[in-house]
A and B are shown apart, each in its own frame.
Chain A
Amino acid sequence: MSAPAATAPTRPAPAGRARLSKGTRLGVAFVGIVALLSLVRILSGADDLTSVGAVAAALGLSVPIGMAALGGLWSERAGVVNIGLEGMMIMGTWCAGWAGYQWGPWAGLVAAIVGGAMFGLLHAVATVTFGVDQIISGVAINILGLGVTQYLSSIAFTGVQGGGPTQSPRVSPMPTVSLPLVKTVLEPVADSGVWLISDLANIAIGLTTNVSVITLLAVAAIVGTYYILWRTRFGLRLRSCGENPWAAESLGVRVMRYKYAAVVASGAFAGMGGAYLVIAYAQIYREGQTGGRGYIGLAAMIFGNWRPGGLAMGSGLFGYVDGLQLRQGGTTVHALLLLAAILLLAFAVWSAWRRKRFSAIAGAVSGSLVLAWYLSTSEVPGEVATIAPYVTTLLVLSLASQRLRMPAADGQVYRKGESH
């Protein structure tokens, strides 16, 4: 081996030495978070923070966000930025409503997936074949999605009983699944209200009671995505299109095809997310139902560092906040203020210890302000509570964006045969 040629000076020590396994670390972190939430629950009296209902809502609402995130992952791993997830999800909701009220929930699910996939195909044609700027195409698709569904709603739903220009008739819900044993065993523990233990029990019950089939499919999709993209040939080749498509091309990989497949898949997943909102959550299609969840999904994907496990966590986080504000909005979000204050002050202390003066001061000031807000009010007004998920998204992205690694060729235009 030659003398080290062109390496830059001193490299950081490689990761993965003697540390706890990733699973253990995640488990510890999870318990830590629940412990903190439990503490806040006891201090503020907002029992809904970790109630079974809140957990169930969190799980449920993390599905549309998670499916959007998964769609974003498939697309960006192949190198195509997909801002149009919201439009694809909107299409999904409409198709689910239209097929759902006529032929039942399963038809609605299939229609939503197909509808989303078709919009995904549109995005693929524009960006992969024609090389249009990916963000512009995504924005255009969102505009188109809104317009098309508005138009179709006027035609398809007016005059039908229960429907109107902005909503469909009722759709029967997807069947749900439960593990009643868990509930019977853990319910007394849950009701006890003991710090941490009862909350964990609540979580267990919430995750195993009345879970929609779509949720199960979503979980399968996330797990499946990991296996497909990281363990199969198809997945390696797809990811290579997002890392260095010219390298892939030189080895005989048909880059265009993989990009198409990825973007269409991303539309399908977004559509599935929309289906959940209609079939499992609201049991009706309504205009504006998606509420920006397509974008929140993108944020979850970024937060998850473009990995399935990460985006599941991110979706869970955003879904949780989304669920809280939709339930007893005012009081529970108010309790979140206390949580935020604690986190900010802890951040301030940690920054001070690390000698990062600006962060420490910022953390201390904002933490104190939030704490003051919490103490001086007893609840957060409803309108303000609705913005909790969006504020959370902003905060998470502001703190996390710097340390992430997106696919190397994400967003770049690939043209066949270009010299590089």
Chain B
Amino acid sequence: MANRDINIAVQAGHVHAIVGENGAGKSTLMNILYGLIRPDEGTISVEGTTVDLASPSDAIAAGIGMVHQHFKLADNFTVLENIVLGDEPTKGAWVDFGRAKSRINEIADKYGLEVDPEELVENLGVGDRQRVEILKVLYRGARILILDEPTAVLVPQEVDELFDALRDLKSEGLTVIFISHKLDEVLSVADEITVIRRGTTVATVDPSEVTAHDLAELMVGSELPVPELRDSTVTDKPVLTLDGVTVTSPDGRTLLEGLSFTIHSGEILGIAGVEGNGQAELVDAVMGIRPISSGTVLLGDEDITAWATRKVREAGVYAIPEDRTRQGLLLEAPLWENRMLGHQTEVPNAKGPLIDRKGARADTERIVRDYDVRTPSIDIPASALSGGNQQKLIVGREMSGTPKMLVAAHPTRGVDVGAQAAIWDHMRTARANGLAVLLISADLDELIGMSDSLSVILRGRLVADFDPRSVTPQDLGSAMTGATTSAEGAA
């Protein structure tokens, strides 16, 4: 049962936040409000009238508009086409593109959401795309906006802009329902907060009367493990050295430019940045998936710049990929076969040209134990696991054996707190034993807490270095968006 006895009353002209943990039932609730799922029991009323939302069209007709967390935009279409799809103005038999365009510009001006209607969506950045999603619902006359985790992919500055926009919408009489699990943001913008736990509404509170801690307690209530600072294990033996690494795409764009850094044995280098600034390309370049146009990559003393991926991995450089379902797993294959992925030429997975099934299976059992992967057996396909458990399996796999170097991209994404702490512990232990880690993350707490040195990547360049002991999330956020590029403190 995903939702049970949900009771929420949202007032007009309010920003009402709904908070809850992953899996608490927020998404199901939103899908119900948007007509994608029918409730088995209970009623929904809009402005006093009971409504039956059997499809998104019904929701749209009731004035409800949903801005999805994972944008639903067609890259090859223009902003205009994406906005009017399903509700196109016509002139006779033809779509009236002119009228659509002026209408969109009208709304955009009214609410301060600037876009170019003729631009192809694939050319837009994340913040712009979100604006298109908001315009989509406003275009349809939504009076109630539902925003699903809107700040998940935004930096602090963009979050502020979004909240300003929400206040504008509020002043025009619109109502905003805002789902999040980021309690401090919620406290800063909401008029009311409803807490959902395990599918039920637990409480509705006034933000001026509670703290983030109170909310967390309402959500479930256990201590937040902070990845705290500890003794330095950094040695002076360089493991990974990048010198002037530049990567250009086949059609000439510069993706990475002049990247230089050194990671020593026992050191974790954290790279902070908004998604899409070259992090994925950096991982690909180090792992040999993407060709490097100029510059060198050294593993210890060896030049691995031109090495193929398999050779890099066999030399002891492992990677936790950014996109686990596309890069880290074979969804249809059983867990024990997934354990071999990326390591199929090594013990315990292989003996010469043959696969060692027994060895792989035994080792998979070990990983399941050590990393708390919740699964009934190692024979079920990876697609049957939840995202968090999939991530745990991948982390366990990539930290097996004795790698020299670990490239970890968002290693605890989607993982619940207990397992997150466990993964951090494993990493710290390995680090103490000499592992070098390139940590790429968007979790500022993780970065600040786990890194020995911290850099910021922006548009393919490293633009700032920080001392994790003294840096604040605000500093990081500014550097990540290019608002400031000053280096603060010594790394």
Contacts and interface: CB of A to CB of B under 8 A. Distances in A.
B154 to A, nearest CB: 8
A24 interface: no
B460 A3 contact: no
Interface in A28-48: none
B253 A10 contact: yes
B459 A250 contact: no
Contacts of A5: 125-128, 154-155, 158, 274, 481
Nearest to B114: A1
Contacts of B85: 236-237, 240, 247-248, 251, 253
Contacts of B27: 419
A11 interface: yes
Contacts of A233: 88, 90, 95
Contacts, number: 121
Nearest to B72: A247
Contacts of B251: 12
B60 interface: yes
Nearest to B113: A1
Contacts of A239: 77
Contact of B459 (A9, A236, A252): A9
Nearest to B124: A7
B74 A252 contact: no
B254 A232 contact: no
B68 interface: yes
Contacts of B482: 3-4
A237 to B, nearest CB: 7
Contact of B56 (A6, A251, A419): A251
A33 B337 CA distance: 55
Contacts of A355: none
Contact of A250 (B37, B56, B254, B255): B56
B88 A6 contact: no
A101 B127 CA distance: 64
A236 B76 contact: no
> Size class of B's contact patch?
35 or more
**Among B57, B86, B94, which residue has the most Cβ atoms of chain A within 10 A?**
B86
Interface in A58-103: none
A8 B87 contact: no
Interface in B11-41: 27, 34, 36-37
A2 interface: yes
Interface in B253-300: 253-255, 257, 274-278
A225 to B, nearest CB: 14
Nearest to B89: A233
A247 B481 CA distance: 29
Nearest to B140: A251
A407 interface: yes
A25 to B, nearest CB: 21
**Among A2, A240, A253, which residue has the most Cβ atoms of chain B within 10 A?**
A2
B106 to A, nearest CB: 18
B184 interface: no
A322 interface: no
A15 B68 CA distance: 31
Given A8-B460, A251-B136, A2 B253 contact: no
A247 B74 contact: yes
Interface in A220-262: 227, 231-233, 236-237, 239-240, 243-244, 246-253
A405 interface: yes
A420 B72 contact: yes
B369 interface: no
A55 B271 CA distance: 63
B11 to A, nearest CB: 26
A237 B88 CA distance: 10
B391 interface: no
Contacts of A249: 56
Closest 5 CB pairs of A and B: A247-B72, A243-B74, A251-B86, A252-B57, A6-B276
27 contacts: A2-B158, A2-B481, A3-B481, A3-B482, A4-B482, A5-B126, A6-B274, A6-B275, A6-B277, A8-B459, A12-B251, A227-B94, A233-B88, A236-B84, A240-B74, A240-B77, A240-B81, A246-B72, A248-B86, A250-B34, A250-B36, A250-B56, A251-B87, A252-B56, A252-B57, A405-B76, A417-B36
Interface of A: 1-12, 227, 231-233, 236-237, 239-240, 243-244, 246-253, 405, 407-408, 417, 419-420
Given A244-B75, A247-B82, 11 more contacts: A1-B114, A5-B155, A5-B481, A8-B278, A8-B459, A9-B255, A227-B94, A232-B94, A250-B72, A407-B76, A408-B75
Interface of B: 27, 34, 36-37, 55-57, 60, 66, 68, 70, 72-77, 81-82, 84-88, 90, 93-95, 114, 123, 125-128, 136, 153-155, 157-158, 161, 251-255, 257, 274-278, 459-460, 481-483
